Every structure is written in C-alpha cells, then in structure tokens.
Structure 1
Amino acid sequence: MARNRKSVARLLIKAPVYLVAAWLLGFGFFVLTLPKAIPDGMTPKSDGIIVLTGGAGRLEAGLKLLEAKVADRMLISGVNPVVEPHELSALTGAEEALFTCCVDLDRAAPNTAGNATESNLWTQTHGYQTLVLVTADYHMPRSLILFRRAMPNATIFAYPVKGEWPMLYLANEYNKYVFTLIGEAFKPAPGDAGKQAKSATGTL
C-alpha cells in the first residue's frame, strides 16, 4: 500500500512536467506545419471567397483574389457593426465600386465559430459549393475544422496569409486549436443527429 502511494505521489509530481513537455512538442509541430502561402494563379476558380477579419493582410488578400476573378463574390465575416463599406475601401485601397457590386459584410459573427455559422448561411443563400477561405496561416487549421463541420458538403480551399506573428499569438491560437480538436472529438459527425432523430421517430 505504501509503495502504491509513493508511486501515485511521484506520478502526480511528474505529471505537470509531462504536460508541459507534450504542450511544447505539440506547439512546435503546430508552428512548423503551418500552411504554406499559395502562389499567384494557383487558387482554383470557386463560387465564393470568405475572408475572416482580425489580422493584417487578410482583406487585401481576399480583394486580390476577387479582382483576379477567382470568384465573383466575397463575404467579409466578423466586420465591426459600425464600419461601412467605404471605410473598408479607403483602408484597403480597393475601388468602392468593387465593394458595392461584389462584397457582402457579415456583422454578426463574434468569433471563429460564428464566422463558420454566418458563412454557411451566406453560401446557402447563394447556392455556393466551392469556397476559398482567407485568414492568417496560424488561424487556418482551427478555421478549417469549424468551417468543414458547418458546411460538410462544400469544398473549401485554404488561402493562408503569411506574416511575422508574435509568439504569444501563436501560443494562444495553438491552445484554441487543441481545445477545438478535443471538443470536435466528442461531437457527433454532421448528419448523425438527423439520423438519430429519424431512427427515434421510426420507433414510436
């Protein structure tokens, strides 16, 4: 009994060390495997472009794709409710006419999960099936998880925006990515809930 208690005590003492080591290894892998930039002209023609706000270079990258006719319409998701299209035009240097004809603004999404939900509504409204997702490279892995769950029947092409990001940004995003992975692991696959509901209805 005493030996067992000592073994448990040693394990509890070492557990934080193991957790820190696992986090460092995972974080290192996360940083080293961030998605690479897509060369000009290599992004497939798609139905729509979705840009997630929150970082430098994202709007410019999305507008560049729109001007290159990669898609005919673009959604900017997570826009501050007080920001107007002409302000975005002035900020990015893009023609205001481009915003008028071809850009929609989502002002409802408060976070990445909200981006996915609101973007799904937008794609359903327009009947889009192929999408280009534009966000920072460090934000792309978690975004793809949430977007592919929100719209499992859509084809999503990643367009990561490269940059020199502070290590704190990367560490914070890695933590969110890990929690998202864990959370998704315990959720039923898309469509399973509907199948269960049909099955339950059939047994009544």
Structure 2
Amino acid sequence: MAAGARQAGMAPVGFKGVAGIAALTGLAIGALLFAAGYVWFALSLSRVEPRLTVRAEGIVVFTGGSDRVQEAAELLARGQAKRMLITGVNRGTRSSVLARLLPVSHKLFDCCVDLGYQAQDTIGNARETREWARTRNISHSLIVVTSNYHMPRALAELSAELPDMTLHPFPVVSDHVNVDGWASDAGVIRLVGGEYLKYLGALARITLRQNENSPDLTGLRPEPASP
C-alpha cells in the first residue's frame, strides 16, 4: 500500500499524522458545537417581559441593576407573593434608602422585604436564597427576578440549591442590553458570550457535584430470592 501511495505521488500517513488529523477534526467539531450552543443561548433569551399571573410564596431578586429590584417590588405590591428577598445587596446600602426608592409602601417594605448582604456572586445568591427560604418557611414556589441574559444561570444555581422548589422566572429586559440585536452589537456579543461561558461552567460544576453526592451502588448485590 505504501508503494502504491509512493507511485501515486502521495506520502504515506503515519500514526502521528492520523492522530493529528483526528485532533484537528475533534477541535473543529468542538468549535462548531460551541458556536451553535452560543447562538442557541442568545436566541433563547427573552425579548419581552412576561405578564406573570402566578401567585407564589416568595420573590427573590438578584441585584445587579436597578430595573430588577423595581420590577420585583412591583410584583410584591400587586400581591403576587407574601415576601421578597433582595439578595446580594451592597453592605453600604441602608434599608431606609431602598425603602424610599421602591414602589411599595413603608408598611409593606418593613413587614415583607428582606435584604441579603452575604452573597457576592450567583452561587452565593442561590445559597442565600436557600437559607432565607428555610428561615421564612418557603418551600413550594418562588418568583425569580433577574436580567434576561442572567436568568439561565440563576435558575440553574437555584434549582441545584432548592431542587424541590417551583421556580417562576421573570426575566427583566433592559433598554441598555438589546439582546434582540445581539449579533450586530459588539458589547452585547461579549456580554452574552461571557454569560454563556459562565452558564456552561455552572452546569458542569453542578453536574459534577451531583455525581459526587450520588450513592455508589456498584458494590451492592441483590439478595437471593427466598425459596
């Protein structure tokens, strides 16, 4: 075969050559899958805010934009939940300042709005929400308020921390981040791309943790049937 290849003017392909071709092919396929996943992620983001009619036990809003907190407060004011957690509040922010800014009465704010100061990132937001839900005896349903591009990762982290909780997403659409025209805006491309990478990282970490915590049944054998 090698002689035939030489006669045809072609050099024989050795093992290293085949391995190199396979590696390049794998990289090309991986790049295509990553690009396709990114496009799917960008197209899946909400373009308009939903009209939620559901009534939940609580509302959790992830800080990161004033629009998020305003929208969450309006849901609370409409009576769509009993309590609200603002998670990831800056430690220098006083509750009295927030009370003046939000579209809720002082009475409603004082009785039903909780501020979480511990979370520093989305993982922390989810854990802070879990502890708050346990403290407030919220066990069935939550309305989740955050930006549309952040919602997939927020839901993934919350689902991992509160697997039995029904989550109702309220993705906030900001005028400053036009995901509808993501393909023509370099800033939005970078923002959505960064969020997509974080989302993939969150899914990988959550999956690994779940696999580590699952019971090892490989050493178990079924008991023999009784005669």
Give the TM-score of the pair, scaled to structure 1.
0.83
* RMSD (Å), alpha carbons: 2.5
Larger relative contact order, structure 1 or 2 (CA cutoff 8 Å, min sep 6)? 1
Paired residue for 1:83?
93
Q: State the one-letter code of the partner of 2:21.
A: R
Paired residue for 1:100?
110
Query: Quick one: distance in 2 between partners of 1:69 and 1:139?
Result: 25
Structure 1 stretch displaced more, 43-52 or 157-166: 157-166
Query: Quick one: distance in 1 between partners of 2:60 and 2:135?
Result: 14
| The one of 133, 157, 172 aligned to 2:168 | 157
Q: Report if the CA contact (8 A) 1:49-1:73 is conserved.
A: yes
Paired residue for 1:126?
136
Q: Report if the CA contact (8 A) 2:88-2:121 is conserved.
A: yes
Deviations 1:54-83 (A, max 9, x none): 134101110110111101210000001110
CA distance 1:171–1:91, change in 2 (3 Å)? farther
Question: How far did 1:29 drift?
Answer: 0.3
Paired residue for 1:200?
none
Question: How far did 1:181 drift?
Answer: 1.5
| The one of 142, 156, 177 aligned to 2:199 | 177
Question: How far did 1:119 drift?
Answer: 0.5
Structure 1 stretch displaced more, 28-37 or 136-145: 28-37
Structure 1 stretch displaced more, 7-16 or 63-72: 7-16
Q: Report if the CA contact (8 A) 1:85-1:99 is conserved.
A: no
Question: How far did 1:98 drift?
Answer: 3.7
2:158 match: secondary structure: helix
Question: How far did 1:89 drift?
Answer: 3.6
Q: State the one-letter code of the partner of 2:114.
A: D
Q: Determine whether 1:168 maps to 2:178.
A: no
Paired residue for 2:69?
59
Deviations 1:116-160 (A, max 9, x none): 111111111111121101011111111111111111122111111
Structure 1 stretch displaced more, 174-183 or 16-25: 16-25
Give the number of aligned pairs. Answer: 194
CA distance 1:179–1:95, change in 2 (3 Å)? same
Query: Quick one: distance in 2 between partners of 1:18 and 1:111?
Result: 32
Query: Quick one: distance in 1 between partners of 2:103 and 2:96?
Result: 10
List runs of 5+ in structure 2 lacking aligned partners.
Answer: 1-11, 178-187, 217-227
Structure 1 stretch displaced more, 132-141 or 83-92: 83-92
2:60 match: secondary structure: strand
Question: What is the aligned-residue identity percentage?
Answer: 30
Q: Which has the larger radius of gyration?
A: 2
| The one of 130, 154, 161 aligned to 1:143 | 154
Give the TM-score of the pair, scaled to structure 2.
0.76
Paired residue for 1:4?
15
